[in-house]
Amino acid sequence: MSAHPSSDEAARSWLDAARSDAVARDLEAVYAIIADQVEARGPACWASGRCCNFDRTGHRLYTTGLEAAYTITRLRRPLDIAEIRAAVVGGGCPFQEGNLCGVHPIRPLGCRVYFCDRSAQDWQMDLSERAIAMVRELHDRRRIEYRYAEWRSLLALLSPESAP
């Protein structure tokens, strides 16, 4: 294998890792730490769905391959590539259901620390950087290919039509 695995090899490794109970527990432990820190700060969430409409809010959601695989492997039904394409065209997330997140319990770190609440802007970047570092350490410790990329592109790579 080369120093940089192909996208298919990386996708396979992320999916295998995300299905591992030990890796899932490690990732969920990071999510729990972040949840505690967010709760301590008490940002407002108005359930407006604005955070899920990337084009409207002028941001992009970036995450790791492992986090995307974690979400994909826990869906109630396979994510269709057409749903991802429609989300890209519409400027949002394929999991947005009205104003709510359809995968809230299994969403990635970027969603867990991003709030439209302007009072959160002072701390959410720092928290995001610390959370990403924890996930990077998990990748390194478990020897899982680390790739940080745009959410929908990783979902497309991992979708049943694309995944190895």
Over range 85-111, report the average pLDDT.
89
> What is the per-residue pLDDT for 57?
79
- Using the predicted structure, report yes or no on whether residue 54 has a pLDDT greater than 60: yes
Which range (48-57, 60-69, 116-125) has the least confidence? 116-125
The CA distance from 28 to 106, in Å, is 9
> What is the per-residue pLDDT for 1?
39
> What is the per-residue pLDDT for 72?
95
The conformation of residue 105, written as its DSSP 8-state character, comes to G
Q: What is the mean pLDDT of the chain?
A: 86
> What is the per-residue pLDDT for 43?
62
